[in-house]
Structure 1
Amino acid sequence: MARVLVEAGVGPGDRVGVCLGRSVALVVGLLGVLRAGAVYVPLDAGYPAERLAFVVEDTGVSVVVGDGLPDQVAGRVTCVDVAAEPLDAGRELPRVGGDALAYVIHTSGSTGRPKGVLVAHHNVMALLAATRDEFRLGPHDVWSFFHSFAFDFSVWEIWGCLLTGGRLVVVDHWAARDPEELHALLAREQVTVLNQTPSAFSQLIRADRFPDGGLSVRLLIFGGEPLDTKMLLPWLDRYPETACRPVNMYGITETTVHCTWHTVTRADALTGSRTVGRPLPGWQLHILDDQARPVPPGVPGEIYVGGAGVTHGYHNRPELTTQRFLPNHLTTTNTTGATNTTDTSTTNTDTSTDTDTDTTMPGGRLYRTGDLGRYTPDGLLEHLGRLDDQVKIRGHRIELGEIRTTLLEDPRVTAAAALVRTPNDPATARIDAYAVLTHPDHLPDIRHTLTQRLPTHLIPATLTALPQLPLTPNGKLDPTHLPEPVPTSEATPVEAPGASATGDGAGLAPGGEASGPAALAVIWREVMGVPVGPDDNFFDLGGNSLLAVRLNAALRKNGYPEVRLRDIFRHSTPRRLMAAIESRGGSGSNASKPGGKSA
C-alpha cells in the first residue's frame, strides 16, 4: 500500500485521505499512509458530503485511499484502491522522525467550522509508553476497534493494540449500533480490552443481561465524554474489580486522546464520583482561574494540559492555535521538591510522578481545554463539564451535568441527557431532559423524585422516556436527534386545537373546539412552546413571571375575562385554573369556549 502511494506521487508530510468502512482494509490503508511517510486524514463516509468536502479542501488532500466519497468530493481527488499492487515492489520507502505528523483529525468548534488537529508520531508513542506497563498491554490481549476512525478514540484502539502486539477485532458499522450483536461479538472473540464512550456503554450494559455467555474483558476503558460512575453498578455486580478493571480516562484530541487515568471502584460507583484521576506520566494538568493563575485544591477552574501529549496545533488556523496553545508560564516540581522558577503558586498543579522537561524548555506549551475541573486535597482531578455547558436561565446558573447525575442516581434510569431549548426568546428558555428507563411506566414517579432532589431552577420542564439515546458516529450523545419532548404529566397531552383530551371537564365543545382544561392547555402550549397536559404544572414547565404575564394576556384574548395573574400562580395547572374560573361563576360559554366575548 505504501509503495502504491509513493508511485502515485505521495511524499513525506503529504496529507492523504482515507475513506473506507471500518474493516481490515481500513487498517491496511492507515498503515500504508504512515509507512509512505505521509499523514492520514480520516474521511468517514458516514459524514455529510459538505463536511467531507470541507476536510478535503482544508487539508489539501489530493490522494485518497478508498472509493466511498460522494461524487461532489471524489471528482477533486485521485482515488487509490486499497488492494492495488505496486509496479516496483522493491521501492525504498522514506523514513520520518518522531516529530513528523502522523494524522490530522477534525473536531467541531464553537464557531461551527471544524478544526484540523495536527498530531505527531511522538505524541502517540508517548501515550503508549505512559500506559503499556500500567495496563499490562501485550500479545495476550484482544482489543475491539469500535469507534469511527475520524474520532481520536480510534487512535488508542488501533495503535494501542498493534504497537503492543495485540489482536484487533474490527467491529463493523452495524454491530457497533446493535448492543446485542456487539455483546455476542465481544464474547465470541474473547475481547480483553474494551474501549467505550459512556453513552455507547449504557446500551451495551443492558445487552450484557442476555444469557449467551460471559465476557472476557479484563480492561474497560472509558473516554470521549464524562462518565456517570453509578451506571457501572450492574456491571460490577457481574464483573467485579478483581476480574475486570474499569478505568475512567479524561482527554482531548489536542492533547492526544488521553491525559489521565483513574480505576473506578465500587465505592466510586456508589457515590457517583466524578474523578478522572491523575495525569499520565509525562502529562501535566493545571487548574487555573480566568487570569491563568493556579487555584487551590477544591476550587474550580479551567483545565490546562502540558507535557508529552500536547500536539502541534490546528491546521491553517494560526489565530486559534495562538489562543488555545499557550506558552507554559507555570513551574514544575522536580523529584527533589525544588521548583524550577520563582513562582510558588503551584500547590495543586503538578501531580505527575515524573518531571516532563517540555514545560520548562523553550517552546513548552499548555493547551487551554475549555473544561471545568478541580483538584481534591489528595491530588485527584474532578472533571466538572464544559465551561460553555454552564448556562443561565432567568439569572440562575444551570449545570446540565448535575441534572443528568441526579437522574442516574435513580436505579431505574440507565442513561440520561439534558439540554436547554429556547423556542422563542430568552423568557421561553427551558430544560428538556431524557431518560432510558428499566420501567418506562415509572416516568411520573422519577420526575417526582427529581422535584425532591433538585432546586426549582434545575427541575426540567419536560422529562421524556426513550428506548435509547441517539449517538453520533463517534459514540457520543447526539443532541440534534433527541426528539421533541412530551408532557410531564400522566394526562393525555393536548397536541393541537381541536384535539381530544381526557379527564373531568376536558373534551370538545359542540362546535368541535377544545373545552375546559383542554382548552386552557392549548393556550398554555402556544405561549410556552412545550407540550402541555391538563395536569401539567406551570412552574414545572419552566414558567416564570414574564411568561405568566403573557399567558394571562393570551387567556384574556381568548375570552377568559375573570383570569387574574395571581390565579395562574395559585392554580398552576389547566385543570385547577379551570376549576377556579368555574367556581367564580365563569362556567358559561365564554369561559369554556376560547374566543368567546366577555359580558
Structure 2
Amino acid sequence: MRSGPGTLAHELVAGWARERPDAVAVSSERRSLTYAQLDHRADRLAAALRAHGVGPETRVGICLPRTADWITALLAVFKAGGAYVPLDPEYPPARLEYMLADSAATVLVGTGPTAEHLAGACDVPLLAPDAETASSATGPGAHPDNLAYVIYTSGSTGRPKGVQVTHASLGNMLAGLTPALEVGPGRRTLQCVSFSFDISVFDTLATLTNGGTLVIATKEEVASPERLADRLRGERIHTVALPPSVLATLVDQEFPDLAVVGSGGEACPPKLAASFAARHRFVNGYGPTETTVAASLFEVTPEHGELPSVPIGAPCAGVSLYVVDDPAGTAAPPGGTGEICIGGAGVARGYLGRPALTAAAFVPDPFSGVPGSRLYRTGDLGRFLPDGALEFSGRADGQVKIRGHRIELNEIRQALERHPRVSQAVVLVGETGLLGGQILAFVLPASGQDAVTGGLLRRHLADELPDYMVPNSITLVREFPLTPNHKVDHAALLAQGSGPRRRDVPVVAPRTPVEADLLRIWQEVLGQPEIGIRDDFFELGGHSLLAAQVVARIEKAHGVQLRLETLLAQGRTVEGLADAVSRAAAGGGTGRPPITRIPRPARRTVPS
C-alpha cells in the first residue's frame, strides 16, 4: 500500500484496518483507537454525512478539539467524498464564522459551545463525531481530481483565503515525504500542531496511510518544554515535526527513541538544526500551503551548523522548483537570487472563490511541456547553491513567518484600522525577544475620538484574529516618521518600538533578591529593559513559548520546579511569581500544584 497521485488516503487507511485491525492507529489524551475501530467510526459518520448530501466537491467544516474524534471526522469526510475545512475552536468566533460561510460548507462536524454557535450563526446542520444514520444512501466517492481539503491562510486583502487542495496533490505529497520521515508499522509520530496548520496534514496522514501510530499531544504539552519532553520520552516517539521556535525549547533534552526530527514553517537557525542533527536524523522542509505542505527537503548534518542559513533543499518527488528574476518567468542565472516558483503535482487548485487572486498567484508554467500545467508564485526569494540545493533568502512582500505560522501583516493592519478610534496603523516584525521575530504594531489614533489604549486595541484584535497574529506590542504614536521620499520610515519605527515604553503608571522596583532576579529573567526573555514587578507578562508581549523559557530559567537559577500553569495563573507579574517561587523553595523545591485547566484571557498590552 503506497501513496501516489492516483491513490486516496482514506482507502490506504482502510487497507491497514483490514491488514492490522488491532494495531493502535490514534492515541490521544481521551481515547485510543485501533485501525479497525477508527475505520468503523469513520464509516458510520460518513454514512451520516452522505445522508446530509455530502459528496464530491462538498465542503464540510470540522470544529473539534485535537483528539481522536478529529481524525475520525477527517476520514469520514473523505469516505463520503467531501473535502474538510478545519476550524480551530481556539480561533475567535468572528473569524470562524467568516471561514465557515466563505467555504460554503454544507455540514459542520463538531461538539461544544463554539461548534453550536457556528452552526446557528451560519445556518448549517451540526453533526457530532459519533453521529449515525439509518439511511443507506450511497453516492459517488472521491476521485483524485476532487477536492480533499480547504485550509485558510492569512490574506493580504484583510480576510483569510481558502487554499483548495485535491486528493491527487495530497497523494503526491504523501508519496514524496513518507520515506524521509520513516513512518510505518510499529513507529509512533507525535502530532503537535493545530489542524488549521497544514503540517498537520502530513504528520497525520503520512502516519495513518503507512500503518503507524499517531500520538496527539495536548496544547498544554506543546506549550511546556518539560511536559512535551516527557511525552516524547514516555510515548517512545520515533518521528516528530515541529517549528524551530518549539524545537529551540527542547535543544538540551535527550530523546533515546526519537529517530527523525522534521522542521518547517519558518527558517531554522543553523546551530539549532545542527544540534539536533548530531543526535537524530534532521530534515528541514519548505513549502507553502498552496503547494501541499512541502515542496522541498534538506537533510541537515552537524557540519551545516557553520552555514549562514539552512538550505531548503531539493524538490520532492513530482515537484519542480524554479528561481525567476522577472514577472515573465525568466529563469535567474546560476546562483542568482529571484522569486521561488513551484510547479508539479503539488500545486493547489487555487483560492476558493477568489479568481483574481488565483490568477495572480497560479500562473502558466513556461518550463513544462504538459498542457495546462501551472506554477505557484511564492513571493519567497531564493537562489540555487552550487550543489543544487535551494537557499531561502526572505520574502518579497509583507508576508512573514512567526512561530511557524504564515502571516500577512496587512491583515493585522486592516483589523486595527477597522477600529473606529484608529486613524492609521503600521505593522512590522522586529527581533525583540528571545525567540526572534515579534509582531510590532504602531497606531495613530483618530483625532476627536475618545482615548484609545493598547489594551483596548488588543481586545479588539482578539475578537478578529487568532492568538498568534495579535501583536506582541502596540505602540501609540502622535505621527509616523517619514523617509525623504515621504514614506513611513520603518527603521525609525522599529527603533522607537525597541526603546522605552511610554507608561501610564510608574515602574515598581523589586524589593527582594528573588524579585530582582526574576525581573532580570523577564528583561532578558522579553527583550525589554524597563519592567516593573507589577507589569503583566502578557501585556508586555509574552506568549506561551516565552513563558516556558522563563520557567526553565527559574528552575536553573533557583532550583525549584514550576509548572507553566503557575506562571499563567499566579505569576503573571514578577511580584506574584516571586511569591510562588518562595513558596516552592520553602516546600522543598517543588511548585507543582494539581493540573487544572486555566482559561487564558485575551492578551493585552501596556498602554503606550
Instruction: Compute the TM-score of the two structures, normalised by the length of structure 2.
Output: 0.60
User: Is residue 77 from structure 1 mapped to residue 124 from structure 2 by the alignment?
Assistant: yes
> How far is the alpha carbon of 1:11 from its aligned partner?
2.5
For 1:110, give the aligned amino acid: S
Q: 1:435 aligns with which of 430, 433, 457?
A: 433
> How far is the alpha carbon of 1:324 from its aligned partner?
0.6
Q: 2:332 aligns with which of 255, 273, 295?
A: 295
For 2:70, give the aligned amino acid: L
The alpha-carbon distance between structure 1 residues 16 and 500, as it changes in their structure 2 partners (threshold 3 A), is closer
Q: Is 2:232–2:255's contact at 8 Å kept on the other side of the alignment?
A: no
> How far is the alpha carbon of 1:224 from its aligned partner?
1.2
Q: Which residue of 2 aligns with 1:277?
A: 313
Distance 2:502 2:466 in 1: 33
User: Is residue 12 from structure 1 mapped to residue 56 from structure 2 by the alignment?
Assistant: yes
> How far is the alpha carbon of 1:434 from its aligned partner?
2.0
Q: Which residue of 2 aligns with 1:43?
A: 87
For 2:285, give the aligned amino acid: M
Q: Which residue of 1 aligns with 2:379?
A: 370
1:351-362 correspondence to structure 2 within 5 Å: 359-362=368-371
Q: Which residue of 2 aligns with 1:314?
A: 351
Q: Is 2:284–2:312's contact at 8 Å kept on the other side of the alignment?
A: yes
User: Is residue 224 from structure 1 mapped to residue 265 from structure 2 by the alignment?
Assistant: yes
Tell me the SS of whatever aligns to 1:131. helix
Q: State the identity %.
A: 36
Q: 1:131 aligns with which of 173, 177, 192?
A: 177
Distance 2:82 2:423 in 1: 50
Distance 1:429 1:19 in 2: 30
For 2:373, give the aligned amino acid: G
Worse overlay, 53-62 or 67-76: 67-76
Q: Which residue of 2 aligns with 1:190?
A: 236
Q: Deviations over 1:181-224 (max 9, x none)?
A: 11111111111110111122222335x2xxxx734221111111
The alpha-carbon distance between structure 1 residues 215 and 435, as it changes in their structure 2 partners (threshold 3 A), is farther
Q: 2:364 aligns with which of 306, 313, 327?
A: 327
The alpha-carbon distance between structure 1 residues 172 and 360, as it changes in their structure 2 partners (threshold 3 A), is same
Q: Which residue of 2 aligns with 1:109?
A: 155
Tell me the SS of whatever aligns to 1:249. strand
Q: Which residue of 1 aligns with 2:203?
A: 157
> How far is the alpha carbon of 1:483 from its aligned partner?
7.4
Distance 1:476 1:141 in 2: 33
Distance 2:504 2:75 in 1: 61
Q: Is 1:197–1:476's contact at 8 Å kept on the other side of the alignment?
A: no
Q: Is 2:63–2:115's contact at 8 Å kept on the other side of the alignment?
A: no
Tell me the SS of whatever aligns to 2:353. coil
For 1:182, give the aligned amino acid: L
Q: 1:481 aligns with which of 472, 491, 515?
A: 472
Q: 2:75 aligns with which of 7, 23, 31?
A: 31
The alpha-carbon distance between structure 1 residues 294 and 171, as it changes in their structure 2 partners (threshold 3 A), is same
The alpha-carbon distance between structure 1 residues 40 and 432, as it changes in their structure 2 partners (threshold 3 A), is closer
Distance 1:304 1:48 in 2: 33
Distance 1:234 1:275 in 2: 16
> How far is the alpha carbon of 1:270 from its aligned partner?
2.6
Distance 1:25 1:494 in 2: 46
Distance 2:337 2:305 in 1: 22
Distance 1:246 1:475 in 2: 30
Q: Which residue of 2 aligns with 1:60?
A: 104
The alpha-carbon distance between structure 1 residues 231 and 477, as it changes in their structure 2 partners (threshold 3 A), is farther
Distance 1:300 1:100 in 2: 36
Instruction: Compute the TM-score of the two structures, normalised by the length of structure 1.
Output: 0.61
Distance 1:12 1:180 in 2: 44
Q: Is 1:313–1:321's contact at 8 Å kept on the other side of the alignment?
A: yes
Q: Is 2:182–2:239's contact at 8 Å kept on the other side of the alignment?
A: no
Distance 1:494 1:316 in 2: 43
For 1:60, give the aligned amino acid: A
Q: Is 2:106–2:124's contact at 8 Å kept on the other side of the alignment?
A: yes
Q: Is 1:200–1:475's contact at 8 Å kept on the other side of the alignment?
A: no
1:88-99 correspondence to structure 2 within 5 Å: 88=135, 92=138, 94-99=140-145
Q: Deviations over 1:221-244 (max 9, x none)?
A: 1111111122235434xxx25xx2
For 1:216, give the aligned amino acid: D
Q: Deviations over 1:370-425 (max 9, x none)?
A: 101111122110011111259xxxxxxxxx99xx9xxxxxxxxxxxxxx9999999
Distance 1:32 1:497 in 2: 54
The alpha-carbon distance between structure 1 residues 159 and 265, as it changes in their structure 2 partners (threshold 3 A), is same
Tell me the SS of whatever aligns to 2:190. strand
For 2:133, give the aligned amino acid: P
Q: Is 1:313–1:325's contact at 8 Å kept on the other side of the alignment?
A: yes
Q: Deviations over 1:543-575 (max 9, x none)?
A: xxxxxxxxxxxxxxxxxxxxxxxxxxxxxxxxx
The alpha-carbon distance between structure 1 residues 476 and 184, as it changes in their structure 2 partners (threshold 3 A), is farther
Q: Deviations over 1:34-65 (max 9, x none)?
A: 10001111111111111111111111113111
Distance 2:242 2:249 in 1: 11
Distance 2:335 2:49 in 1: 53
Q: Is 2:163–2:289's contact at 8 Å kept on the other side of the alignment?
A: yes
Q: Is 1:494–1:531's contact at 8 Å kept on the other side of the alignment?
A: no
Q: Is 1:49–1:70's contact at 8 Å kept on the other side of the alignment?
A: no
Distance 1:127 1:247 in 2: 15
> How far is the alpha carbon of 1:126 from its aligned partner?
0.5
The alpha-carbon distance between structure 1 residues 277 and 130, as it changes in their structure 2 partners (threshold 3 A), is same
Q: Is 2:188–2:215's contact at 8 Å kept on the other side of the alignment?
A: yes
Distance 1:58 1:267 in 2: 47
> How far is the alpha carbon of 1:114 from its aligned partner?
1.1
Runs of at least 5 residues in structure 1 that lack an aligned partner in the other structure: 331-358, 391-399, 405-418, 439-473, 503-529, 534-599
Q: Deviations over 1:61-99 (max 9, x none)?
A: 1311112436652212111011122214x6546322111
Tell me the SS of whatever aligns to 2:312. strand
Q: Is 1:224–1:476's contact at 8 Å kept on the other side of the alignment?
A: no
The alpha-carbon distance between structure 1 residues 430 and 185, as it changes in their structure 2 partners (threshold 3 A), is closer
Q: 1:87 aligns with which of 134, 137, 145?
A: 134
Distance 1:122 1:109 in 2: 25
Higher Cα Rg, which structure: 1
For 1:28, give the aligned amino acid: T
User: Is residue 118 from structure 1 mapped to residue 198 from structure 2 by the alignment?
Assistant: no
Distance 2:429 2:370 in 1: 47
Name the Cα RMSD after superposition.
3.9
Runs of at least 5 residues in structure 2 that lack an aligned partner in the other structure: 1-44, 403-408, 417-421, 437-464, 477-493, 510-527, 532-608
